[in-house]
Structure 1
Amino acid sequence: MPGFPRLPHIGRIAVALTILLTACGAPAAAPIPTPRPLTVAATTPIVGDVVRRIGGEHVQVTVLLPLGADPHAFEPSPQDIARVADADVVFAVGAGLEVFLEPLLRSAGGKALRVELTEGIPLRPFEVEAHSEGQSAGGTELHAHGEWDPHVWLDPNNVITWTHTIEAALSRADPARADRYRRNAEAYRAQLRELDAWIREQVSQIPPERRKLVTDHQVFGYFAHRYGFEQVGVILPGVSTVAQPSAREIAALEETIRALGVPAIFVSSTVDPALARRIAQDTGARLVQLYVDSLSPPGGEADSYIQMMRYNVRRIVEALR
């Protein structure tokens, strides 16, 4: 049978030399090692989302509070202590929101850089509705509580300040990637400025006399100040969702709602709505749930900070206009 044609002698030598040179050639250059991602702990889902927008693929973010958890009542687990102990940076809101953080950091004893995002933001005092101090139930006079309100993120302009703080902290912990953090932060700041303009446009649909907020607890101070709302009542007294109102306080709040014709009560997704639902039924007001201290699950209507704000503003405008 005819076989495959044989290579000429010189051809066989050339093939052999090629194989030999390939086998004995210089080794391939070793790949340049990529710096490991920063390990970051964030106290709340909202903080974690903003940090991810700036850190991108170069940070591994673990969030201490589960979705839907109330930061006022959160108790860290041993796993949270381990996460903080391993972190390069710990980001918190600050201003007293995370009462659990100080003992958690002591227990963790880690090397982490601690960053409080309220640094550089002019804080507003909590405001207490007048009826809880025994004044006229129909009055709308507010006065300072003497404690600082940490819910600064409900004004996107304060989150712009967050981005500068986060960018600086990540760049300090990881100077090699500082330029990437800067570019990400600049892009996100543009989105936040666009969000602020969009909120102003949406709120303009509500007549000024109807921009009255009744909420489950004192959380909308920065939002109200920025966009021209008035906080006329809260369900839970004090500055925490743990406190419970007296029967007299509930009656006074219901009188305020009726006297001012407030059409809606806004309740956070992290707060039990039972009491708010009862007050809504008593007064004929509509009960509207918002995302305030936490985000929705991934794929939900408020699974990022910007989506959360857009969702909340749409619900507020729909309820009050």
Structure 2
Amino acid sequence: MLHAMRAALAPLVLILGLALIAACGDDEEAEPRVRVVTTTNIVADWAQNVAGDDVEVFSLLPVGADPHSYQPGAQDVARISDADVVFAVGLGLEESWLVDLVRNAATDPGAIVELGELIDPIEFQDAHAGESALLEAIAGIVHEVEDGHIPPEQGLIQIGAVLLAMEEGDDPADVCFYDCHDHADEGVDDGHDHDDEGDDDGHDHDHEGDDDGHDHEGEFVEVLIDILTHAQAGEITPAEAIEAIDELVHEMEEDGHEGDDHGHDHGLYDPHFWFDPLRVKVAVDAIAARLAELDPDRGDDYRDAAASYKAELDELHGWTAQQVEAVPQERRLLLTSHESLGYFAALYGFDVVGVILSTTTEATPSAADLAELAHEIEELGVPAVFGETTVSERLAVTLADETGVALVRLYSGSLGAEGSGAESYIGMVRANVTSIVDALR
């Protein structure tokens, strides 16, 4: 009897033992293989598509938060501290808060992966572009003089030609390579006459710019003209004028670098590369590579998932290119809440004709800035003003009301809420493209 009971219980004990082992195995699998934190929910969506459900992916920014001005809390410090890797956009997007967050969490800076550094970023095309080009052109002429390639007198003539050409709307680089050399022999008097003309015109522009409180280019031009005027009057020698201009250029360059440290502006490069699905593919590969490094046993799985997701991004790009064909070229004009659509415009053949908040959502445009944008809308026939879900639309609404054009809301720094159709990256892009095409077709 006892022997029979043992024979009957043996299979049961074996089954229960196997079940217990399996249960323990489940507990172990419940522990995330890799802990991933991302700065934005857009990046989190990319990471989750690559990582799968076995990897915990957490976005610091909730739906609707602005990555430019996010204020992290204590829970964010804990998340960063526990993370194996932190995927950030980079290129200055999170600069105002991420550095302090990493420092407070005592996180190894090597755990931070700034994806924007890997995607061949484009430069901002904003109001500072002209200032940078002017500085570069003037600095180039000064170096030519200092290196002995041209005399100081010739350098002053070329600088005068650059200023005159800028007043006429030409690119300073084009002036240096063509006008300066082609017309250098037209005479010092002609160059000085232009300087005098520029003096009055330049001062007028400077005073207009002072009302805005940020016309650095106007201040630079004003001082340049003063130096040229003193040289023309014989109050300083051409060599002394070149030396003074060299010092001025260095001061402007230093001011520019100091401005970058304030955290209110991005740097030279545009961080909004998620509006270009082809560049996102590069970021996806970088995510897969880091996950494979952290979890080599599943490296092939991460790479396969990345390849599959990149195929979806290729399909998204093809769909977008097809959709925008419905918009006539003369109506492919984008005026946005802040400068976020540069990648989209470059990839799909649009022109960004104006931005309300320049490169960052923390800026405050002046009345003169808004008046200029309203003038551009009317002069160019801009069909719509594009607001953003993560940015206050007060100014965009005002601009749209004053000009009588449509106000269209786009998803920019964040995915949409559940049920919006924009709760994934691909859904967000499709929603934005549909809105843009419907507004401009």
TM over 0.5, shorter chain: yes
In structure 2, distance between residues paired with 1:229 and 1:171:
38
Please say if 1:43 is aligned against 2:39.
Answer: yes
Can you list the C-alpha shifts for 1:24-83, whole angstroms capped at 9, x where unaligned? 769845445547331111100101111111111121111111211111111111110011
TM-aligned CA distance change 1:190 to 1:15, over 3 Å: same
Q: Which stretch of the first structure deviates more once superposed, 98-107 or 15-24?
A: 15-24
**Unaligned ranges ≥5, structure 1:** 1-11
Distance 1:24 1:45 in 2: 48
Say which of 276, 279, 302 aligns to 1:155.
276
1:184 lines up with 2:182 in the alignment = no
Aligned partners of 1:41 and 1:89 also within 8 Å:
yes
Task: Tell me if structure 1 keeps the 8 A contact 2:274–2:280.
Answer: yes
Q: Secondary structure at the match of 1:307?
A: helix
Asked whether 1:86 is paired with 2:75, we answer no
Structure 2 equivalent of residue 8 of structure 1: none
Q: Give yes or no for contact 1:211–1:229 (8 Å, CA) kept in 2.
A: yes
SS at structure 1 position matched to 2:335:
strand
Q: How does 1:265-284 map to 2 (within 5 A)?
A: 265-284=385-404
Which residue of 74, 87, 102 maps to 1:105?
102
The reply on whether 1:234 has 2:230 as its aligned counterpart is no
CA distance, structure 1, for counterparts of residue 382 and residue 277 of structure 2:
26
1: CA distance, partners of 2:280 / 2:17: 47
1:62-211, aligned counterparts within 5 Å? 62-99=58-95, 100-111=97-108, 113-128=111-126, 147-211=268-332
Amino acid at match of 1:98: E
Provide the rounded CA distance (Å) in 1 between the counterparts of 2:270 and 2:312: 25
- Shift in Å, 1:127: 1.1
Give the secondary-structure state (helix, strand or coil) at the position aligned to 1:287: strand
Residues in 2 aligned to 1:59 and 1:26: alpha-carbon distance in whole angstroms: 31
1:24 & 1:79 partners in 2: Cα distance? Answer: 46
Corresponding letter in the other structure for 2:299: A
Between the aligned partners of 1:278 and 1:150, the Cα distance in structure 2 is 27
Distance change in 2, residues 1:281/1:175 (3 Å): same
The Cα offsets for residues 119-162 of structure 1, whole Å up to 9 and x where unpaired, read as 321111111259x98xx9xx9x9x9x971100011000011011
Tell me how large the CA RMSD over aligned residues is.
Answer: 2.7
- Higher mean Cα deviation, 156-165 or 105-114? 105-114
Structure 2 equivalent of residue 9 of structure 1: none
Tell me the equivalent position of 1:306: 426
Match of 1:248 among 368, 374, 396: 368
**Pick aligned residue for 2:383 from 247, 257, 263:** 263
Select the structure that is richer in helix.
Answer: 2
In structure 2, the gaps of 5 or more residues are 132-165, 174-265
Q: Distance in 1 between matches of 2:13 and 2:439?
A: 77
Q: Secondary structure at the match of 2:284?
A: helix
Whether the 8 Å contact between 2:33 and 2:54 is mirrored in structure 1 is yes
2:32, 2:56 within 8 Å by CA — same for their partners in 1? no
Moved more, 102-111 or 30-39: 30-39
List per-residue Cα deviations over 1:195-244 (Å, max 9, x = no partner). Answer: 0000000001101111010001000111000000000001113x211111
Inter-partner Cα distance in structure 2 for 1:251 and 1:146: 26
TM-score normalised according to structure 1 size? 0.87
Note the C-alpha offset of 1:107.
0.7
Q: State the Cα deviation string for residues 165-215 of structure 1 (Å, max 9, x = none).
A: 000011111111112111211110010000000000000110111101000
Identical aligned residues as a percent: 45
- The letter for the 2-side match of 1:95 is L
Q: Is the 8 A contact 2:37 2:80 kept in 1?
A: yes
Distance in 1 between the 2:68 and 2:14 partners? 65
On the 8 A contact 2:77/2:105 being kept in 1, the answer is yes
CA distance in 1, matches of 2:349, 2:438: 16
Q: Secondary structure at the match of 1:148?
A: coil
